[in-house]
Amino acid sequence: MSNFTRRDAIGTTAMGVAGVAIANGATARASAQGASRVAAFAGKHTPRPLRFDPKKLAGLSERLITSHWENNYQGSVRGLNTIETRLAAAMADPDYPTVAYAGLKREELHRTASVVLHEIYFEALGGNGNPGGSIYEALDGWFGSFEAWEEEFRRTAMSLAGGSGWCVLTWNAHTRSLHNYWAWDHMHGAVTGAPLIALDMYEHSYHLDYGTAAAHYIDAFMANLDWEVIDARYRANASQARNASNL
């Protein structure tokens, strides 16, 4: 499956424009090499390995998971590294065009969010789909019942089917509440929101197995969730909120 989408083409164009501006001589490139050693622009992100055997997921094929992990996720890791090194070069060049810098900053956000969301997505898979723990009780309380939460989560996900984006169960640290958020283009998450579950609704995440039948893909995703991982994420964030309230 090709992982080059229209979104990638737009990003590549933006990076291409930035690349033209960067190529302003050996002095700027030498300065960029020094700037690239700054941690913020290091460009040294590495992919996280899968924590489960992709052959053993129910309803999600090894081919689908491997393609998603190798092409889409790792493509975002590589893209983020490229963007960071180009930001380093731009910071070393006092004459770097503002319009080109704006494109780099947008791509930095896009690629960063894609990497984070993909890692949250993959790390919550490999379970039996049976919910439990503190997160179960919390969802039951916030939504009236766990089943009501799941229905709303699925409805939010299906609102993105055929398009692009993520359905994200989020702990909002500011309001100290749980919500299902609609996150388009990797970037439209709630401020202070900590993702607990991230469901990729881009077609690359399910088309190989399900074509356009996104609802069946959601069924398979839910059946493979590891709720111990999700519960640990929730407890860590809720604990931080309690500690902050005691300061």
> Where does the chain show beta strands of DSSP type E?
166-172, 177-183, 193-200
Q: Is the CB of residue 167 less than 8 Å from the CB of residue 157?
A: yes
Answering whether pTM is above 0.85, one says: no
Query: What is the average per-residue pLDDT within 199-221?
Result: 97
Q: What's the CATH code of the domain at 232?
A: 3.55.40.20
Return the percentage of the chain with pLDDT > 90, whole number. 74
Distance CA 124, CA 29 (A): 41
Same domain, 139 and 110: no
> What is the tally of structural domains in the chain?
2
| Residue, of 2 and 97, whose pLDDT is higher | 97
Residue 192's pLDDT is what?
Answer: 86
Is residue 209, in this structure, part of any structural domain at all? yes
Q: Which residues contact 3 (CB under 8 A, 6 or more apart)?
A: 67, 71, 72, 75, 204
Q: pLDDT digit string (tens) for 121-135? A: 999 999 999 999 999
Q: pLDDT digit string (tens) for 112-123? A: 999 999 999 999
Is residue 205, in this structure, part of any structural domain at all? yes
Same domain, 99 and 140: no
Is residue 16, in this structure, part of any structural domain at all? yes
Segments forming the whole domain that contains residue 119: 6-123
Query: What is the average per-residue pLDDT within 96-112?
Result: 96
Is residue 1, in this structure, part of any structural domain at all? no
Give me the residues paired with residue 197 across strands: 169
Reduce the DSSP state of residue 2 to 3 states and report it.
coil
Residue 141's pLDDT is what?
Answer: 96
Q: Output phi, psi for 196, to 5 deg.
A: -105, -40
Residue 37's pLDDT is what?
Answer: 65
Give me the residues paired with residue 199 across strands: 167
Closest CA to 59 of 165, 198, 215: 215
Q: Is the CB of residue 220 less than 8 Å from the CB of residue 58?
A: yes
Tokens of 171: 């702990």
Is residue 88 over pLDDT 90?
yes
Same domain, 145 and 186: yes
Same domain, 35 and 59: yes
| Residue, of 12 and 229, whose pLDDT is higher | 229
Closest CA to 38 of 74, 94, 79, 90: 90
Dihedral sign, CA of 88, 89, 91, 96?
negative
Least confident of 113-117, 125-129, 173-177, 199-203: 173-177
| Residue, of 36 and 130, whose pLDDT is higher | 130
Query: What is the average per-residue pLDDT within 131-158?
Result: 97
Mean pLDDT for all residues in the chain = 86
Domain boundary among 69, 101, 123: 123
Same domain, 95 and 161: no
Same domain, 119 and 138: no
Is residue 180 over pLDDT 80?
yes
Least confident of 77-81, 148-152, 159-163, 228-232: 159-163
Q: Is the CB of residue 166 less than 8 Å from the CB of residue 153?
A: no
Q: pLDDT grade, residue 2 (50/70/90)?
A: very low
Closest CA to 234 of 136, 146, 91, 158: 136
What is the DSSP annotation of 46-105?
-PPPPSS-GGG-SSS-HHHHHHIIIIIIHHHHHHHHHHHHHHHHHHT-TT--HHHHHHHH
Same domain, 54 and 102: yes
